Amino acid sequence: MIITNNEEALRIKCDPVLLEEVGSLISTLENELSNANRFGAQGIGLAAPQIGIAKQISIIRLGKGLNIDLINAKIEKGYDPNIFKEEGCLSFPGRVEDTTRFQEVHITNNLVYPYSFVATGLLAVVCQHEIDHYHSNLFFDHKITKPLLNKPKQNPNEACFCGSGKKRKKCHQ
């Protein structure tokens, strides 16, 4: 069962997944995500900590055959920080936040044979969200407050409000 509205239970540090654990953990995550969707939750990703398992594994099911399993995954690099509108989480039903997320991330999946891939757009956001769960980070840790979104008179040479470290003129126009 998916842990809901319990920030303390979700802020757990996760251990790496062992090869022999992968199959059963993926199956468990798929069943839980399927159950959540059957009851109207409309989730596209689920991480083990969300069901009380302190392991670095998650699944992403975007449909149209796009299924990704993140196993001991790490974000190596992120590019083009942007504001993602109304990010949500199955663990916090009904709660959405505008967040700062990278539009492109380079990810390494680490098990027996590590492999890397690049995710962009929605897939990049979902990967960041699920990998955050491994490190006890939650989506609202990345939220942007409305006054910052509407701040019209920021000097283009100041640091951008999104926290990227770039000048505003090179980040958010």
Among all residues, which ones are annotated catalytic?
Answer: 130
Beta bridge partners of 59: 46, 69
Number of other residues whose CB lies within 10 A of the CB of residue 73? 24
* Residues in CB range of 128: below 8 A, 6 or more apart: 75, 78, 101, 102, 105
How far is Cα 33 from Cα 21, in angstroms, rounded to an integer?
18
| Contact by Cβ (8 Å): 154, 164 | no
Encoded tokens for 150 = 């509407």
What secondary structure does DSSP assign to 57-88, as a single string?
EEEEE-STT-EEEEES-EEEEEEEEEEEEEEE
